[in-house]
């Protein structure tokens, strides 16, 4: 920690591609953390509400449009729901490991 004119400046370590460890000053006006949590909760709530609202329409479409039995339609919807929840984990792994946040948003 360096002290200049009574202001403390914290240093954050970054490991670059050439495996050199450099210290860079931390931005005091950093965004994120608890400040963004309400937005994440609201976004997830609306996503769950939309998904739950889609299920009755999908079962009616499978029964009336595709002439499936209710049990078969329920199995298909359960598999769809499980796949959509599992693919979020796979997508997060791809985003964090390979693609980056901006490319994933662009997709």
- H or E element in which residue 7 lies: strand 7-9
* Helices and strands (H and E) in the chain: how many: 3, 4
16-72 per-position pLDDT tens digit: 556 666 666 666 666 777 888 899 899 999 998 998 899 999 999 999 999 999 999
| Tens-digit pLDDT profile for residues 77-101 | 999 999 988 998 998 898 888 888 7
Q: What are phi and psi of 74, to 5 degrees?
A: -65, -40
Which parts of the chain are beta strand (E)? 2-4, 7-9, 11-15, 21-25
């Amino acid at each position: 920690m360096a002290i200049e004119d009574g202001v403390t400046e914290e240093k954050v370590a970054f490991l670059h591609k050439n495996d050199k460890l450099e210290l860079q000053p931390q931005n005091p006006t950093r965004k994120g953390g608890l400040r963004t949590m309400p937005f994440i909760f609201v976004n997830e709530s609306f996503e769950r509400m939309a998904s739950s609202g889609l299920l009755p329409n999908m079962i009616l479409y499978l029964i009336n449009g595709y002439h499936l039995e209710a049990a078969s339609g329920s199995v298909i919807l359960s598999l769809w729901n499980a796949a959509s929840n599992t693919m979020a984990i796979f997508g997060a792994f791809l985003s964090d490991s390979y693609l980056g946040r901006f490319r994933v948003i662009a997709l």
